[in-house]
């Protein structure tokens, strides 16, 4: 028996791990001091907890704790990295490079910079979702100051070759920012090896609380940023504002668990995802979106042909899944990520993102397979397009009459 709706939307957000919640609660209750209060044990205890968490975050990504700046989330980290670097280095040039498939937190920030007179090149991925390193290299100009490419895509889960892209950027003297919000705890990240200058982290995608994140700011060679929030000088002046001790403790613990359990957890999750994929692949006319190999084990994004998107979403109400990224699911636009892969509007509309996580069970996966199979069958029975397809009519040759 499974509890419905079955949660298969871990890329939208994750429950806080019980161990994380347990660590946080003392800092919500007794140990409530302001970490900036220098004059009493309430403040000192809070500061100590903050610094320990900073070490835990740094340890997951093999960075120096001094390179970790606390923010209110990955959206803020992305803003701080991109705007902060663009403004600081605008004397060197005003061109930036990114991908069409980035999260809106990056794309909207890039658009904001465009309105300020910066120029941005948006690269398209190959049909598997990965950017071609040669294409990337060719886009970098003498006046390019920053490139931003996400480590793991939130919709299709593909993993970009950050190591190669980083080498290219370093060779051309371009700063490299990586949005790693979807990557922590899923992909090994070694910032001593990767030529990455700035990296954004989110807690709530890795079983930590919402409302807290971090930004890695490299010290060797040193990267400078123009602060976006001014005030009491917190975080060495890079980000002012009282530090939320309980949030930070939560993020630290979440990242500690991620470091210790990633390998075993990934194996278990990969098996579950592959089981789901095998089950859904038995349905006719389904397509996987994004590369299967260079992909996190948690993500399965599939399009179900000849099924209308909205009715599909309503039919699978007992599954908490996503069609398109959570943040933009309020609009009825087809996923811009899937469009960038070359998917037609129809296929993009009739796609579902399943993302598995730490608490997903085999029963839940089997429930999902069964529910999808039944509902796809039912919806196709009602679909005239499906009938035509079954009769062998090539739908691309049909002249549709307008009403």
Residue 78 interacts with other proteins (CB under 8 A)? yes
Residue 187 interacts with other proteins (CB under 8 A)? no
Told to judge if 169 belongs to the known catalytic residues of this protein, a careful annotator would answer no
Q: Closest separation between CB of residue 384 and other proteins, Å? A: 27
Q: Closest separation between CB of residue 377 and other proteins, Å? A: 22
Site for other proteins in 27-56 (CB under 8 A): 28-30, 32-34, 36-43
Residue 251 interacts with other proteins (CB under 8 A)? no
Residue 192: other Cβ atoms inside 10 A: 9
**Closer to other proteins by Cβ: residue 114 or 260:** 114
Phi then psi for residue 194, to 5 deg, are: -75, 140
What length does the chain have?
403
**Closer to other proteins by Cβ: residue 39 or 264:** 39
**Per-residue interface string for the shown chain with other proteins, residues 188-217, x marking contact by CB under 8 A:** --------------x-x----xxxx-----
Residue 297: other Cβ atoms inside 10 A: 19
State both tokens at 181.
């919000």
Phi then psi for residue 381, to 5 deg, are: -55, -30
Q: Closest separation between CB of residue 120 and other proteins, Å? A: 13
What DSSP string runs through 102-121?
Answer: S-HHHHHHHHHHHHTT-EEE
Stretch that binds other proteins, among 10-18, 168-176, 214-222, 380-388 (CB under 8 A): 10-18
Site for other proteins in 270-309 (CB under 8 A): none
Size of the site for other proteins (CB under 8 A): 73
Q: Closest separation between CB of residue 82 and other proteins, Å? A: 9
Site for other proteins in 215-244 (CB under 8 A): 228-234, 240-244
State both tokens at 327.
């943040």
Stretch that binds other proteins, among 69-77, 125-133, 182-190, 280-288 (CB under 8 A): 69-77
Three-state secondary-structure class, residue 54:
helix
- Residue 220 gets the label, from left (phi > 0), alpha (psi -120 to 50) or beta, of beta
**Closer to other proteins by Cβ: residue 111 or 236:** 111
Site for other proteins in 350-389 (CB under 8 A): none
Given 327, 332, 393, 398, the catalytic residue: 327
d(CA 131, CA 168): 13
The side-by-side arrangement of strands in the sheet containing 351-355 is 286-288, 299-304, 351-355
**Closer to other proteins by Cβ: residue 130 or 198:** 198
d(CA 114, CA 103): 17
Distance of CA 270 to the CA centre of its chain: 18
Site for other proteins in 104-163 (CB under 8 A): 104-105, 108-109, 111-112
Residue 26: other Cβ atoms inside 10 A: 15
Residue 313 interacts with other proteins (CB under 8 A)? yes
Site for other proteins in 319-348 (CB under 8 A): 319-322, 325-330
Q: Closest separation between CB of residue 47 and other proteins, Å? A: 11
**Closer to other proteins by Cβ: residue 226 or 284:** 226
Cα-Cα end-to-end distance for the chain? 47
Q: Closest separation between CB of residue 74 and other proteins, Å? A: 8
Q: Closest separation between CB of residue 193 and other proteins, Å? A: 29
**Closer to other proteins by Cβ: residue 6 or 269:** 6
Residue 245 interacts with other proteins (CB under 8 A)? yes
Give Cβ neighbours of residue 299 (< 8 Å, ≥ 6 apart): 11, 156, 157, 273, 290, 353, 354, 355, 356
Q: How many CA atoms lie within 13 A of 66 on its CB side?
A: 6
DSSP class of 327:
G
Residue 320: other Cβ atoms inside 10 A: 14
Q: Which residues are known catalytic residues? A: 327
């Amino acid at each position: 028996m499974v509890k419905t709706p079955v949660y298969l939307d871990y890329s939208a957000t994750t429950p806080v791990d019980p161990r994380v919640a347990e660590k946080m609660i003392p800092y919500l209750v007794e140990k409530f001091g302001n970490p900036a209060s220098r004059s009493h044990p309430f403040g000192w205890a809070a500061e100590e907890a903050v610094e320990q968490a900073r070490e835990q975050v740094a340890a997951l990504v093999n960075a120096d704790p001094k390179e970790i700046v606390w923010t209110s989330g990955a959206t803020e980290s992305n803003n701080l990295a991109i705007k902060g670097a663009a403004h600081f280095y605008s004397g060197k040039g005003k061109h930036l490079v990114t991908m069409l498939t980035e999260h809106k937190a990056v794309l909207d920030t890039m658009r904001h910079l465009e309105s300020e007179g910066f120029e941005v090149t948006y690269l398209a991925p190959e049909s598997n979702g990965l950017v071609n390193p040669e294409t990337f290299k060719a886009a970098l100009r003498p006046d390019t100051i920053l490139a931003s490419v996400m480590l793991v895509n939130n919709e299709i889960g593909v993993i970009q070759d950050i190591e190669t892209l980083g080498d290219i950027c370093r060779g051309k003297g371009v700063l490299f920012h990586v949005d790693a919000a979807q990557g922590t705890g899923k992909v090994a990240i070694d910032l001593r090896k990767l030529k990455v200058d700035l990296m954004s982290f989110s807690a709530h995608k890795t079983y930590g609380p919402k409302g807290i994140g971090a930004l890695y700011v490299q010290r060797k060679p040193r990267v400078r940023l123009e602060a976006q929030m001014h005030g009491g000088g917190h975080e060495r002046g890079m980000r002012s504002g009282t530090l939320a001790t309980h949030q930070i403790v939560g993020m630290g613990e979440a990242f500690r668990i991620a470091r210790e359990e990633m390998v075993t957890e990934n194996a278990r999750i990969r098996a579950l995802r592959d089981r789901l994929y095998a089950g859904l692949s038995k349905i006719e006319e389904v397509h996987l979106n994004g590369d299967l190999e260079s992909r996190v084990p948690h993500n399965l994004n599939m399009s179900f042909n000849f099924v209308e998107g909205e009715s599909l979403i309503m039919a699978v109400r007992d599954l908490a899944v996503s069609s398109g990224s959570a943040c933009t699911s309020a609009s009825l636009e087809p996923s811009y990520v899937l469009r960038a892969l070359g998917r037609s509007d129809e296929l993009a509309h009739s796609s579902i993102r399943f993302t598995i996580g730490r608490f997903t069970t085999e029963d839940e996966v089997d429930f999902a397979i069964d529910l999808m199979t039944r509902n796809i069958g039912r919806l196709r029975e009602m679909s005239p397009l499906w009938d035509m397809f079954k009769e062998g009519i090539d739908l691309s040759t049909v002249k549709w009459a307008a009403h």
